[in-house]
Structure 1
């Protein structure tokens, strides 16, 4: 191995080449750590940056929020069977995120008047109670709202493509 290494370095000392490679590896590793801290909000200036301008991720794009709601279309549960907590909780969360996205969309909430009104009616019925028995009580309204919004969105493909 020593012979092959020396031959590749054309007479240079392999130790020096190894030293250069080691220094380069340290510099690259330091740069990666620095980039990771900057992108994750870490580092020495993280607190100062948060106080000056802390951008929030904001609501998901309508397209993305609708896609996650659509993913629930083939799912269901049987009220009273004890298998509805996840499903109804998920659909309710997806509707909440879609509501936030539609309200923040550049087209404005007026563009999404019907689905926003349907979600408001549902959320008014649900109140703050997200327990399984309460969600099961409103099973038809939750699933109906989801399905109605899906139908509305199918008539507005420019909002999700």
Structure 2
């Protein structure tokens, strides 16, 4: 875009007699290339620049509810024994899958009211967990984590249109 502004500035100086000179000629534009592929590439680059977030941050789209639920379902046959040292991965994964499902349900086009029960259950769980995701803390809330996962699975099974 900077190059285009410089090109227009230079071209205007040639066509209007320099800066400050009065002219009835229309402002000059960048010359068009006879190559249609080059023109299409330039148009595509310009469109991409026009739609970029001016702050430069890119926020990922939340997963679709179906996809998030599928990854949560993949944990149904897994478990661990609190205190035995085998829970760090399992409880961390289930908690992460619930977080992603929560985000997907909130972003869904039907609105969070459509998923009132599972969202309420996850809110209760996340309230108990707080920000602490240490193994000891997750093991302390083992029953709540697994119970929330299982309850959401049951709710979703009664709402097949939400994940098929």
TM-score by length of 2: 0.67
Q: Quick check: which one's helix share is greater?
A: 1
Query: When the two structures are aligned, how many residues end up with a matched partner?
Result: 119
The aligned residue for residue 22 of structure 2 is none
From 58, 61, 66, give the equivalent of 2:61.
58
Deviation at residue 57 of structure 1 after TM alignment: 2.5
Q: Which runs of 5+ in 2 are unaligned?
A: 1-40
How does 1:55-134 map onto structure 2 within 5 Å? 56-134=59-137
Q: Which runs of 5+ in 1 are unaligned?
A: 1-33, 39-44
TM-score by length of 1: 0.68
**Secondary structure in 1 matching 2:54:** helix
**Secondary structure in 1 matching 2:82:** coil
Deviation at residue 56 of structure 1 after TM alignment: 3.0
Give, in whole Å, the separation in 2 of the partners of 1:154 and 1:139. Answer: 23
The alignment yields a C-alpha RMSD, in angstroms, of 2.3
